[in-house]
Amino acid sequence: MLLFAICLAAIAALVTAASLFGFNPDLAIAALFYDPATKDFVAGKDSHYALLRDHGLVAVMTCAAFAALALRTSRRRLPSVPGRAVVFLTLSLLIGPGLIVNVTLKDNWARPRPGSVTEFGGTHAYVHWWNTRGTCPANCSFASGEAAAAAWMFGPAMLAPPHWRVAAMAGATVFTVAMSVLRVAAGGHFLTDVVFGALISLVVLLGVHRLVFGWPFAYLRRKRSTSSTAA
């Protein structure tokens, strides 16, 4: 997960640097999904895409419920984990995708969405991600709530048993990338919107995990060490 966060930070830095030197990856990548003939993004009116997007939050909440249930059923093996796991999952979801992205940024960072800018048939001027003085009135492009919620799936993956953790992390990665690409393909967000949305969620996950458990996975190492000593 930390490696994934570093990769997202590197992508954000590269996109920002490229924009400063005159090449705009945000517009270039958004243009790949825009059809001038229909004046719409390729996934803008796709019913399958709409189904995936509308049920994305359902998938996140279902995963959270199953994760909490699974941890509670493992009380005999990890007696100190279940209560703190619920706190970790709840706090990280409320702070990252909830408070920071959807409540604070989206209504106060006035960046127009791709489908609203003049380059793609809209009426608003394009602004870079760091520019808060755009013309979007509310529910704006930066940052992506869907990408932030999808990246939160790394939270349950962090709590998976060691033999399932790699598969859980891989699943969270695929889910995050898929939801992010779909949002760009639908003209709902630019590349930097989804990258920063996911990055915010990952940083919050690491911070809350540090607060609740200590550094990621450290509590599991302590458990194995204690068990080995007792044996």
Query: How confident is the model over 180-211, as pLDDT tens digits?
Result: 998 999 999 999 999 999 999 999 999 999 89
Q: What is the mean pLDDT of residues 33-49?
A: 82
Reported confidence tier of residue 213, pLDDT bands at 50, 70, 90 = confident
Give Cα separations from 144 to 83, 117, 184, 191, 196 (angstroms).
30, 17, 10, 9, 8
Task: List pLDDT tens digits, range 129-188.
Answer: 999 999 999 999 999 999 999 999 999 899 888 898 999 999 999 999 989 998 999 999
Nearest to 158 by CA among 54, 5, 12: 5
Kindly tell me if the per-residue pLDDT of 44 is higher than 70: yes
